[in-house]
Amino acid sequence: MIHARSFRRAGRATVLLSVPCLLITAEACGPKGLEAPTGPAETSVVVYPPAPDTARIQFLTRYGRASDIEDQKDQGSFLSSLLGQDPRDDAEQMIYKPYGVSMSRGRIYTCDTMLAGVVIMDLVGREMGVLRPEEDDAFMAKPINCATDPRDGKLYVADVGREEVLVYDSTLAYQGSIGAGDVMNKPVDVQVHGDRIWVADQTGHGVVLFDRETWAQVGKIPEYAPDDLEGRGVRQPTNIWVTDSELYVSDFGDFKIKVYTHDGTFVRSVGQYGRGLGMFLRPKGIAVDREGILYVVDAGFHLVQMFNEQGEMLMFFGGPDDDPGHMYLPAKVTIDYDNVDLFAEYVDPSYQAKYLILVTNQYGADKVNVYARVEPKAAGAEVPTSGGTPSGGPSEGGTGGH
């Protein structure tokens, strides 16, 4: 049985699902917040679902401002030198209104629409700065989503203000733009996979494909048909995710996640409009892990739902509270396998982390939440209910500007 309870935030009433226990392929229970922290350090391990069920997701940490990660420096650092910024400036760098997020080579890149730039958090160098070029050709108008290419370190930024995808190399030097002219109307997301650059074009009702080396347009999928009665096309794409064989599109206009082959053939859809489990109010960011598990951000429910390859809901995590691990108007989710070791001290010793899950929140203090997909190290391991916060690594706490 599904129970619903209402809550009020910022003067608006919203409905949140509260589920006593859900068993669909994997054990899951509705998230229940722990006590809010009284200082920078957390005093509890936050897992989803909570005990006594086996944990699948562990909340690790959150970021909102430079002091969350930075060491106190008396001289310039590598990232600061690349960005032309002085870490000794009085004004502390903060994330204001993030949307897109990507992680590569120890850095978290977050598109900040209010700053009109990309906030970069270097977890290895323990510093934070913002990429906000002033040159006429390199500037950002409204960066909404970004992607990094692990092969060469390039940063791709979907800018809806410029109606282009902007490209910066591994040193953050501007390389040029993709899609100038009438190629795209409103690029809202970008992915780099294989030899293609995939760009979601919201008002163009599809995904535009470009050659990774030449940046020439090589296709557009799926074919848009205004009289599409079967719902195989895309009405209003907001986010995409590309796997080795399929393209996932978050269709905000149809309240579904639609799946296509790389040549644009419709395969299936996940979800529908509604307030029940497996339904969506405001589907936005999506990500798919190597086992085919689909993660879907719902800004209406302030949480992330998880689905298997058959479209069955497995569980959800997050929720609209101020407690650690919860969300406030989440926008984007991404998965990272390459930087798990940077957060090893945060993972409860009873579990091992398979990969990282990053979620952006457009409001509240916790602008970037970091979770891990976890599994027990040994059969019968119990879910922890409390424990100390590991020392070292990215620091927690702090507040961010709205």
Which amino acid, one-letter code, is at 29? C
- CB count in 10 Å sphere of residue 70: 20
pLDDT of residue 322: 82
Residues 286-311 have a mean pLDDT of 97
12 pLDDT above the threshold of 70: no
Which amino acid, one-letter code, is at 224? Y
Structure confidence at residue 26 as a pLDDT band (50, 70, 90): very low
Residue 354's Cβ-count burial label (10 Å; 0-12, 13-18, 19+) is: middle
For residue 83, give the H/E element and its range: helix 78-83
Structure confidence at residue 398 as a pLDDT band (50, 70, 90): very low
Tokens 């907001």 belong to residue: 238
Residues 362-389 have a mean pLDDT of 74
Instruction: Answer yes or no: pTM beyond 0.75.
Output: yes
Among residues 107, 210, 123, 114, the alpha carbon closest in space to that of 167 is found at 210
The residue length of the chain stands at 402
Q: What is the pLDDT of residues 43-67, one digit of tens each?
A: 489 999 998 899 999 999 999 999 9
Specify the higher pLDDT residue, 86 or 123: 123
Looking at domain 67-343, its CATH class is mainly beta
Residues 320-332 have a mean pLDDT of 93
Show the 3-state SS of 93-150.
CECCCEEEEEEECCEEEEEECCCCEEEEEECCCCEEEEECCCCCCCCCCCEEEEEECC
Report percent pLDDT > 90 for the chain: 68
* Token duo for residue 110: 């977050």
Specify the higher pLDDT residue, 388 or 312: 312
Structure confidence at residue 293 as a pLDDT band (50, 70, 90): very high
pLDDT of residue 334: 98
Among residues 132, 142, 43, the alpha carbon closest in space to that of 97 is found at 142
Q: What is the pLDDT of residues 190-247, one digit of tens each?
A: 999 999 999 999 999 999 999 999 999 999 998 777 777 678 889 899 999 999 999 9
Q: What is the pLDDT of residues 161-184, one digit of tens each?
A: 999 999 999 999 999 999 987 788
pLDDT of residue 181: 76
